[in-house]
Structure 1
Amino acid sequence: MNNYKTRAQLKGEVKDLVRGRWSTAVLLYLIPTILMLANAGSGGSRSSSDYTSATTSFNFTAIVTTAFSSGIIVFLLSLIFLIVSLSATFRGLDWIEDPELEFSPIKSNFTYFRSPDWWKLIFIYIINNIFVFLWYLLLIVPGIVKSIAYSQTFFVYKDLNDRGLADNYSLTDYITRSRQLMNGNKWRYFVLQLSFIGWFILGGITLGIGFFWIFPYYKLTMANFYHDLVANENN
């Protein structure tokens, strides 16, 4: 019989984990938090202004060039953000699994840039988003349900990769494995996400400053959710 932890237990364990080590948590997610806030703050204003300038001058070549170059730059930056974010996220899971773990929080953001399999993260990201997008084409609700079902995909990859089993799986197998883990757990995950709305509002009220503490708390709780899923499956 599964004995999943409650939201309060998952969050409480994270609070216990970072107690006395908040600086480590903040530094671990410092770069992802800054990138997230910068992206939210800019809102693509630079590319928008360039595009507006090109259209108002009716320079067709400039319009095409600006749109194409901006798209490529945004795409490349998003991939860099992805690897940085996942590197921090994976180290967060390591920390959840070993509360006494000692590590360099800033360097942990660049772990997967040194991995020969960094490209797998990008392709998993692309395939995952294609699947979710196709579900969204049907209806909004199925898209949301499937995005939740696929939410553990990267954790699954990290888990199998750490055990030397990743080569035995295809990129879509990680998504399938996530879906299997989330059977009967989608609502728990959805409600856990909702429980952070108040914190996110607080982060907005503090002009983003609060996110330097809220984001690590959120990300570590999500890692703890995955840890709990696997622990119950193995029972």
Structure 2
Amino acid sequence: MNRAALKEDAKSILNSHFSFYFLLFLPAFILEVIGGIIFGINATDYLEPSDGVSTLITWIAALLAIGMSFVCLDAMREKLTYENPLQKSMFLFHNGDYFLGTLLISIIQYIFVILWSILLIVPGIIKSMAYSQSFFIYRDAIDHGEHISYTDAITRSRQMMDGHKWEYFVMGLSFIGWLILVSVTAGIAAIWVQPYMSLSFANYYNELSREQNAKDGHVEDHQAPTSEASENN
């Protein structure tokens, strides 16, 4: 898979619609700032009661990010209308199946990765990459009317990533320079970097699923409900 081409496509879409993606990711940025402030308070004043609030904010921000990655997937499939970005930022919460499935898959993944990490750190990292496509797989299955269990989504992700984990790892490493930029700008660069990464990884899944469908002899159909249609349900 051509990593540079995947990232270039993502960068082109982001630069063409930057104001949309800025507003799309704005709620997550705000939550991350609030979470950082609370973490700082905990670190300096040892306010234990706020630990739960910080954890809750982290989970909400993570769920928002997953929903935004679904919007990014629609963009890579040329199914996205660039309107109402703030409404689309809540994409995951507009569909009960998406929300519940994503939440439970997140919890199951977390448990699995922790269990593997008990053995050694490396197996935990490998498994996190193996499970990385679970959310996209679950979303596609729901959109196509397929009944899929949460563990099935994780299993399919593991199967899809067989032989691709190193490729995925290297793609993640290719963003290190951008993440350093985010760090040295006190997070300001994340306004551009976070959508760029989300679009790139959505594009990775899109291409990988195409390759798998072609290998399996399946006719690809991405005419399922888009983020725009789901908002109206």
Over 3 Å counting, the alpha-carbon distance change for 1:111 and 1:211 in structure 2 is: same
Cα contact 2:38–2:50 (8 A) shared by 1: no
Q: Percent identity?
A: 40
- Shift in Å, 1:87: 1.7
| Aligned twin of 1:158 | 139
Q: Is it true that 1:24 corresponds to 2:20 in the alignment?
A: yes
Query: In the aligned structure 2, how far is the partner of 1:198 from the partner of 1:208?
Result: 14
Cα contact 2:20–2:82 (8 A) shared by 1: no
- Deviation track 1:34-54 (CA, whole Å, cap 9, x = no partner) reads 333443x336233455546xx
Q: Is it true that 1:86 corresponds to 2:66 in the alignment?
A: yes
Q: Name the TM-score, length of structure 2 as normaliser.
A: 0.83
| Aligned twin of 2:180 | 201
Q: Is it true that 1:144 corresponds to 2:134 in the alignment?
A: no
- Shift in Å, 1:203: 1.6
Q: Name the TM-score, length of structure 1 as normaliser.
A: 0.83
After the TM superposition, which of the residue ranges 43-52 and 81-90 deviates more from structure 2?
43-52
Unaligned residue ranges in structure 2 (runs of 5+): 215-233
| Aligned twin of 1:46 | 41
- Deviation track 1:149-205 (CA, whole Å, cap 9, x = no partner) reads 01111111111111121xx22111111011011011101110100000001111222
Query: In the aligned structure 2, how far is the partner of 1:7 from the partner of 1:34?
Result: 30
| Aligned twin of 2:94 | 114
Code of the aligned partner of 2:101: K
Cα contact 1:14–1:221 (8 A) shared by 2: yes
Of the two, which has the highest radius of gyration? 1
Code of the aligned partner of 2:92: Y
Code of the aligned partner of 1:133: I
Cα contact 1:79–1:122 (8 A) shared by 2: no
After the TM superposition, which of the residue ranges 196-205 and 100-109 deviates more from structure 2?
100-109
Code of the aligned partner of 1:215: Q
Query: In the aligned structure 2, how far is the partner of 1:99 from the partner of 1:164?
Result: 18
Q: Is it true that 1:36 corresponds to 2:15 in the alignment?
A: no
Code of the aligned partner of 2:70: F
Query: Equivalent residue of 2:16, what SS?
Result: coil
Unaligned residue ranges in structure 1 (runs of 5+): 53-66
Root mean square deviation, CA, Å: 2.0
| Aligned twin of 1:97 | 77
Q: Is it true that 1:130 corresponds to 2:102 in the alignment?
A: no
Cα contact 2:38–2:54 (8 A) shared by 1: no
- Shift in Å, 1:73: 2.6
After the TM superposition, which of the residue ranges 71-80 and 92-101 deviates more from structure 2?
71-80
Q: Is it true that 1:76 corresponds to 2:42 in the alignment?
A: no
Code of the aligned partner of 2:95: S
Query: In the aligned structure 1, how far is the partner of 2:55 from the partner of 2:34?
Result: 16
- Shift in Å, 1:22: 1.4
After the TM superposition, which of the residue ranges 138-147 and 205-214 deviates more from structure 2?
205-214
Query: Equivalent residue of 1:178, what SS?
Result: helix
